[in-house]
Amino acid sequence: MQTTKNGSDVWLSKWTLNTSSFSASESAYNISHSRQQMFSQQDWSYPLGSRPVFPLKDLQEYDRTAFFLTVYVCVAVLNTVFTLIRAFLFAYGGVVAASELHEKLLHRVLYSTVSWWDETPWGRVVNRLCSDVYTVDDSLPFQLNICLASIVNLVGAILVTLFALPFLLPLVVILFVVYYFIQRYYRYTTCEVKRISSLTLSPLYSHITDTVTGLVTIRAHRFAERFSSILRDRLDKNLCAQYSSLAASQWLSVRLQLLGVVMVSAIAFAGVLETRFFYVETGLIGLAITYALSLTGLLNSLMCSFIDTEKELVSVERIAEYKENIPIEETTEDVENLDKFLYCRTVNGQIDFTCVSLRYGPNLPWALKNVTFRVEAGQRVGIIGRTGAGKSTIFQALLRAHSIETGKIFIDGSIDIAQMDPRAVRSIFGFVSQQPFIFSGTIRENLMVDNNTMPDDVIHTVISKADLDSWLDRCGGLEAEVTESGKNFSFGERQILCLCRMILAKPKIILIDEATAHMDEQKHTHMNQLIRSSLPQATVISIVHRTIGLETFDWIIELSNGAIHKQGPPSAFQDRHLEH
């Protein structure tokens, strides 16, 4: 594309020079010829008013003009075609590359381990998935396009200038050496400033997210001024980095403009010398000076666009860091695992813990220490204990949210969950946590997560058993809209929806982490009876914080400091005072 552009300019200069030479020679010939025949008898032989005023032009001029015009149009058409092809290929390549990076980043984040989510602030993840991805999708292709265009334009301008003014070669070499040291000094500075700016965004996003999430608590405790002060402090740090970036850009601009003045002056002086002492076509000299005048702008554009592109590539570096370094859960796709995956849907529900030990980090205390127990298929087991005793860690180990360090966990006595794909293991369980998780969408979509073809009468039956008929009518039926995280419902209503969703899924093993904590005693008892009547063959393991209702379980396990302190039938725990 640049070749055709420079070629069209060179051809235009040739055309202009040829036309000027032909016009000058024709004018000289006409003047001398008219003087010779001004008083000739032939001129007086024309009748009055019939002598031609201007001489007829040579037909060769029309042929010459047509030739130059045809070549110029062909080159212009080629330039247009190459420009369209380049624009399409660049846009297509940018979209494909950005999509590939986004898919790999999203896959890595979605399949990351739970421990990574525990250690990583939300703001840092939001920064990668929003700010950095936007840069790769929008800003980076724009800057890269400018950078490539500046490189090609600069190379073309230098070649044309040196073709017309070869004495400029030493000056161009010296100039590029000076430019190199300036841009290297600036690049190192501005890239670090860009990294600092990106790092200061993560705490800012985290603080905004925490403020919006806990706005009610902040106002209740009158912490608004404190949170505003933290916001101003983190915002000032980010603005300082951005201000430093702008100041560095102005520093670069001043120095490049000073060098540009020197360069244009030297080029003009060299053009005058070559015209005076050497034979050089005036058209090429004019073209070279035209390119020379734009050379400073091209060098400035190249340096700025190259540095801006390098700064934008920091986002690619940050995405690549997540894409390569985020720990993900090990998954298997072999045929043997798929067979086990299908088998997992038909398990009986027996669970065996054998000397299981687990901790959340290599330097952290043990959350579970040599835990051994058995839950028979169809049995209802309650887990009790003080806060931090390891009750929820039992569920973490079963769901493979954290890997156990020693021991084994078996399903039906033969399925070692450590050898299974985590997705296959989790398909066995129905899990309801203390914090109910509701999707944005409709009530139907929230209840039919595992089966999109479930008839409405089955859904209405479960809702009726949960005493939600009138509530569903007030909401507008199954197609009623559910806002983000179900914020248009109360906490207890969200818990009941999650329990109904679990009942409709009909899992073989049910894990309940105090899912009725925000319900009254009557509703709590009613939901436990509904689970027992709807899924009579399912194995139920429930974390219990209430002493009331222990008699509904077949077996009780008490944990203390990560180990089993006592286990037995409910009658052995009737007088035990439980603490949260």
Q: How far apart are CA 496 and CA 489, in angstroms?
A: 11
Please answer whether residues 530 and 466 qualify as being in contact, where contact means their C-beta atoms are separated by less than 8 angstroms.
Answer: yes
Taking only the tens place, the pLDDT of each residue in 128-179 is 888 888 888 888 888 888 888 888 888 877 887 777 777 778 877 888 888 8
Q: How far apart are CA 115 and CA 484, in angstroms?
A: 25
Mean pLDDT of the chain: 78
- CB-based contacts of 412: which residues, under 8 Å, 6+ apart? 347, 348, 349, 350, 377
Percentage of residues of the chain with pLDDT beyond 90: 5
Backbone phi and psi for residue 568, each to the nearest 5 degrees, phi listed first = 170, -170
Taking only the tens place, the pLDDT of each residue in 468-493 is 888 888 888 888 888 877 788 888 88
Place of tokens 């086990």: 340
For CA atoms 432, 438, 443, 444, give the dihedral sign.
negative
In the prediction, which pLDDT does 408 show? 92
Please answer whether residues 546 and 384 qualify as being in contact, where contact means their C-beta atoms are separated by less than 8 angstroms.
Answer: no
Q: How far apart are CA 418 and CA 420, in angstroms?
A: 6
pLDDT at 263 over 60: yes
Q: How far apart are CA 85 and CA 91, in angstroms?
A: 10
In the prediction, which pLDDT does 236 show? 92
Backbone phi and psi for residue 429, each to the nearest 5 degrees, phi listed first = -100, 150
- The separation between CA 221 and the C-alpha centre of its own chain, rounded to angstroms, equals 37
DSSP tag of 542? E
250 half-sphere exposure, CB direction, 13 A CA radius: 6
Backbone phi and psi for residue 431, each to the nearest 5 degrees, phi listed first = -120, 130
Using pLDDT thresholds of 50, 70 and 90, give the confidence band for residue 331.
low
Nearest to 446 by CA among 508, 495, 491: 495
Domains in the chain: boundaries:
2-14+58-199+249-325, 335-348+378-405+417-573
pLDDT at 61 over 70: no
Nearest to 95 by CA among 149, 147, 136, 144: 136
312 half-sphere exposure, CB direction, 13 A CA radius: 21
In the prediction, which pLDDT does 143 show? 85
Using pLDDT thresholds of 50, 70 and 90, give the confidence band for residue 444.
confident
In the prediction, which pLDDT does 64 show? 65
Percentage of residues of the chain with pLDDT beyond 70: 79
Task: Average the pLDDT over 487-506 and give the result.
Answer: 84
Distances in whole angstroms, Cα of residue 348 to Cα of each of 302, 345, 536, 554: 69, 9, 12, 17
| Helices 2-36 and 282-325, packing angle to 10 deg | 170
Determine if the pTM surpasses 0.95.
no
DSSP tag of 504? H
In the prediction, which pLDDT does 56 show? 43
In the prediction, which pLDDT does 51 show? 45
**Vertex 501, ends 498 and 506: CA angle to 5°?**
130
In the prediction, which pLDDT does 16 show? 62
- Which SS3 state, helix, strand or coil, does residue 175 take? helix
Taking only the tens place, the pLDDT of each residue in 292-324 is 777 767 777 887 788 788 878 888 888 888 888
For residue 411, list its beta bridge partners.
Answer: 351, 415
In the prediction, which pLDDT does 22 show? 46
Using pLDDT thresholds of 50, 70 and 90, give the confidence band for residue 278.
low
In the prediction, which pLDDT does 232 show? 92
- When mean pLDDT is compared across 38-52, 373-387, 406-420, 428-442, the lowest value belongs to 38-52
Neighbours of 155 (CB within 10 A): 14
Neighbours of 160 (CB within 10 A): 21
Task: Average the pLDDT over 259-280 and give the result.
Answer: 72
**Vertex 519, ends 580 and 496: CA angle to 5°?**
120
pLDDT at 42 over 60: no
Fold of the domain spanning 335-348+378-405+417-573: Rossmann fold (3.40.50)
The architecture that CATH gives domain 2-14+58-199+249-325 is: Up-down Bundle (1.20)
Please answer whether residues 30 and 180 qualify as being in contact, where contact means their C-beta atoms are separated by less than 8 angstroms.
Answer: no
pLDDT at 43 over 80: no
Q: How far apart are CA 96 and CA 293, in angstroms?
A: 38
Taking only the tens place, the pLDDT of each residue in 69-124 is 777 677 777 777 777 887 788 888 888 888 888 888 888 888 888 778 878 877 78
Please answer whether residues 194 and 245 qualify as being in contact, where contact means their C-beta atoms are separated by less than 8 angstroms.
Answer: yes
Using pLDDT thresholds of 50, 70 and 90, give the confidence band for residue 351.
very high
- Which SS3 state, helix, strand or coil, does residue 328 take? strand
